[in-house]
């Protein structure tokens, strides 16, 4: 079975389990994850607009999943190197985050406003799982709920090796931006 089919099946099973618990849930099937790993010598940016995410307003539980080969680059060769040499998307087809919004009751999910919070959890990237804590922001408006986060990860923390030949062109610390437009899940 192809990695994409396995990913979709596992995501569907996770969603069923996640949504079977009580409390208001919000989801997005097209969250955007963007990263910048370039230096002054080279622009290296990738973006995926196909990440899946769910958040439970009552408990603050939040999850993300993205197919690694879903990231797009300005240059096709960068995309190829990203998938084959650095993230090894055939071996590690997806990246996930499973965590908890600190103090979820401080976010008024039905009242317009912007709510800043901290999100702690486990990020799995390149087959390595690490605990992380990142800033988060949820904006509630008539248009819906938008979630955002910006944070950094170190390549070496996730076993991503950068050859010495290109070490000056690739940042050791990668900037990651996440943007999700959530919809209410109605049973």
For residue 183, which of 33, 19, 21, 46 has the smallest C-alpha distance? Answer: 19
Q: Is there a contact between 184 and 23 (Cβ–Cβ < 8 Å)?
A: no
Domains, the chain: 3-20+31-185 (2.40.128.110)
Residue 39: its pLDDT value, please?
80
When pLDDT is cut at 50, 70 and 90, the band that residue 97 belongs to is: very high
Q: Structure pTM? A: 0.84
For residue 144, what are the contacts with CB-CB under 8 A and spacing of at least 6?
181, 182, 183
**Number of Cα atoms under 13 Å in the Cβ half of residue 12:** 6
pLDDT at residue 17 tops 50:
no
Report the candidate in 100, 151, 157, 101 with the shortest Cα–Cα distance to residue 124: 157
State both tokens at 21.
Answer: 């618990």
pLDDT at 14 over 80: no
**Cα–Cα distance for residue pair 66/7, rounded to 1 Å:** 9
Q: Which ranges in the chain belong to alpha helices (H)?
A: 3-20, 76-81
> What is the average pLDDT across 140-156?
95
Residue 43 has pLDDT above 50, yes or no: yes
**Given CA atoms 75, 78, 84, 88 in this order, what sign does their dihedral have?**
negative
């Amino acid at each position: 079975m192809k990695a994409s089919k396995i990913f979709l099946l596992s995501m569907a099973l996770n969603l069923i389990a996640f949504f079977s618990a009580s409390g208001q849930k919000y989801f997005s099937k097209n969250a955007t994850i963007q990263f910048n790993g370039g230096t002054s010598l080279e622009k290296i940016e990738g973006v995926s607009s196909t990440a899946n995410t769910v958040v439970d307003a009552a408990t603050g539980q939040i999850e993300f999943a993205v197919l690694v080969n879903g990231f797009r680059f300005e240059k096709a060769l960068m995309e190829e190197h990203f998938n084959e040499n650095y993230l090894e998307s055939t071996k590690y087809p997806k990246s996930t985050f499973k965590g908890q919004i600190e103090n979820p009751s401080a976010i008024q999910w039905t009242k317009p406003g912007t709510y800043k919070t901290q999100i702690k959890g486990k990020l799995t990237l390149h087959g390595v799982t690490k605990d992380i804590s990142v800033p988060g922001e949820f904006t509630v408006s008539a248009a819906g709920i938008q979630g955002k986060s910006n944070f950094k990860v170190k390549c070496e923390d996730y076993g991503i090796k950068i050859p010495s030949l290109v070490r000056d062109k690739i940042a050791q610390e990668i900037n990651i931006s996440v943007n999700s437009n959530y919809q209410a899940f109605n049973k």
